[in-house]
Chains A and B, each alone.
Chain A
């Protein structure tokens, strides 16, 4: 018998591959999607709950003195503004020793014999945060006492631990008045206060401590926020008398002192300020719930609260009116962070923001005319973590939280909220989503 065998596989394989391509064409899957929800499991129930302070919080405390005034990039002057006085202290670097100047022949030479003919301090104001609508008088004076920009306050020019050195008189000691100048916010956001020739010579040749000035607000009942201060000096060159040179002398220290300092609140909650305040509280979450009826109707009560049920959790705080002098003039950003080592309070390290990056922005008016506004600070992931219990390392999440304004310090003003025992105490807002266990059909 003779076997008749087909020849090579080349052409058949080509056909087979072409057919195979048809099968591959549908390999990118798209799962069937129903046009309605008739085949979906029972819808979960999402409900909002509010736990009273006694049900979740305890041991509320307010701590202060975080950060320093000179860490702010702004300064303040006030004169009897809601009972608050504030003055700004500035210290400047040395005057320039020389400059490259073209002489009468046009060649560039270094002139070390500059003649300083004029100098003035430029103050740049925050026209929104300043309270005056018309001109107010500012006075520039030369301080006569050394001061420490990191610790100086209304009563002490140096206030290190165990080494307080008071001013000769509270509020920055005595000063030699240099000049005064009006600033009108309707004409611009800057004020120039000129130095006299004697002061110019003294600041040019004197020691570092002599180039120190204090800004006072002479007009009563106002508060001005200073965004920046710089010293400009004008010099003539000996190489070319027609050349006037303008230099900006760096500011080496800037701070402000104020009186009276805010005292710790007798009640309530406070965050922000400079130095800053923080509010600390202990949190204890219930593991079972006996209500409300809408929840019990779905899953039965008592209901074992688990981390998977928490859709949202937020500390609900009601804003409280603040004395005008300390009322915020701009948005306050508030964060909630875990206190990592409660035993070392008030210096305990803190965890990262529980509400995600950026914190919760709160408009300034809620601490004034809109007192009582609900400010909700999200702590969802934290609550889920607490309900989850100890992590793989066996450590339980911290049960103490700190509320603070960031960056810290950011502004002289602070934010305040009603505390436990007052009207509108803090609450824990919860949004829970629950459903019966997923079943197979």
Chain B
């Protein structure tokens, strides 16, 4: 293994896909599910499965890596700008954030490809405030409850993919859930309360996540112009273990079986159509959450077009558009929630050898909305990925 490969693996392990908050829907249920896809898949409205190409390192399509004949690496960054509104109110709340939802690497091993993924699974960060009036020594006084939850669930997975026939590939990854969540509530009192001598009250807890998941997938090239793929992810329960200084208890949450299918085909030379869909039933997770949390099956699908023969500055620069609708398992008000985006983007080859792209960046830009009950988030989301091959 070359020094560059070792360095990339080190980067993967060190970064471990830190997640930053990007939606108020993080507050719903167990958090907002993340999808670890790259800029190309985002631009195509894809769930990251069934896409052609030699650089498949997306965790949703573990079999695709079998076609990666040389070492490869992928890193994804994702900035988001959100405008939150609520029915019946003209108030706007703006926030933004960046995350690194995916770091991936593949390396030839035993006539196949060994994979390493660090991915975001659930985003849980949010904060809120609640003004209250309390009795301080017989005097009504203003106080503010400030709540903040910081945390996320990630996975670190190892996998292997291999061509079992010239057109069919199988892949499997096994991963471990990791991450922490910290919840803190601080009640602070107005300066005028108790002659300014009232001390803030704080209550907090921290939990560490543990659990395992297994993803298996298959993909096949059909007729030389079509690719079909399917994958499934099964998990053990996601255990949240309270730290020693936390008064709250441990929790365990069922994680749903996630099923995905995807296909793509050349409609004409240089014109690719892709489609993908996924489904997961979160009702068991909702039962574990209790407290009236409702959730059911979340279905997602997306379609997109890619013009792959375009060139810019003398280099391959495919252009993509897509549409995608994602069912969100949890809502802030018990009703169904979904996310819908229109997307576009392009790729740019940084280094080509014999028309094989060895280094490229892909940018996907989504204009979307997330709706659940009376809450609505309009957002712009960028997904930028850097892919390296043959290092």
Which residues of A are interface residues toward B (Cβ below 8 A)? 1, 3-6, 9, 11-13, 15-16, 19-20, 22-41, 43-44, 46-48, 308-312, 314, 355-356, 360, 376, 378, 380-381, 384, 429, 431, 433, 435, 437-441
Shortest Cβ distance from B151 into A: residue:
A440
Given A5-B354, A12-B350, A28-B96, CB of A438 within 8 Å of CB of B185:
yes
Shortest Cβ distance from A379 into B: residue:
B197
B274 at the binding interface (Cβ < 8 Å):
no
Taking a contact as CB atoms closer than 8 A, the residue among A12, A38, A356 that contacts B313 in the complex is A12
Question: CB-CB < 8 A to A376: which residues of B?
Answer: 137, 194-195
B84 & A46 in contact (Cβ 8 Å cutoff): no
Assembled-state Cα–Cα distance A54/B330 (Å): 54
Choose the segment among B15-23, B42-50, B228-236 that binds chain A (4+ C-beta atoms closer than 8 Å): B15-23
Question: CB-CB < 8 A to B89: which residues of A?
Answer: 35
Bitwise interface map of B from 127 to 152 toward A, beta carbon under 8 Å scored 1, else 0: 11110101111100001010110100
Question: CB-CB < 8 A to B127: which residues of A?
Answer: 31-34
Bitwise interface map of B from 183 to 205 toward A, beta carbon under 8 Å scored 1, else 0: 11101010000110111111111
Q: How far is the CB of B308 from chain A (nearest CB, A)?
A: 17
Can you pick out 16 interface pairs between chain A and chain B where the beta carbons lie within 8 Å of each other?
A11-B313, A12-B350, A22-B382, A24-B79, A31-B125, A32-B24, A34-B27, A44-B201, A46-B134, A46-B143, A384-B199, A435-B203, A439-B205, A440-B251, A441-B30, A441-B293
Given A43-B130, A356-B197, CB of A12 within 8 Å of CB of B185:
no
B289 at the binding interface (Cβ < 8 Å):
yes
Assembled-state Cα–Cα distance A378/B197 (Å): 7
Assembled-state Cα–Cα distance A12/B352 (Å): 11
Given A40-B128, A46-B187, A437-B205, CB of A380 within 8 Å of CB of B96:
no
Given A12-B350, A438-B183, CB of A378 within 8 Å of CB of B128:
no
Question: CB-CB < 8 A to A433: which residues of B?
Answer: 187, 201
Question: CB-CB < 8 A to A381: which residues of B?
Answer: 199
Q: How many residues of B contact A (CB 8 A)?
A: 89
Assembled-state Cα–Cα distance A160/B77 (Å): 82
Assembled-state Cα–Cα distance A310/B291 (Å): 30
B20 & A39 in contact (Cβ 8 Å cutoff): no
Bitwise interface map of B from 92 to 108 toward A, beta carbon under 8 Å scored 1, else 0: 01111110000000000
Choose the segment among B1-9, B160-168, B241-249 that binds chain A (4+ C-beta atoms closer than 8 Å): B241-249
Q: How far is the CB of B169 from chain A (nearest CB, A)?
A: 26
Which DSSP category, helix, strand, loop or mixed, fits chain B's interface?
strand
Question: CB-CB < 8 A to A310: which residues of B?
Answer: 199
B247 & A437 in contact (Cβ 8 Å cutoff): yes
Given A40-B185, A439-B205, A441-B251, CB of A35 within 8 Å of CB of B350:
no
Taking a contact as CB atoms closer than 8 A, the residue among B22, B181, B201, B291 that contacts A32 in the complex is B22
B391 at the binding interface (Cβ < 8 Å):
no
A35 & B351 in contact (Cβ 8 Å cutoff): no
Q: How far is the CB of A343 from chain B (nearest CB, A)?
A: 31
Q: How far is the CB of A441 from chain B (nearest CB, A)?
A: 5
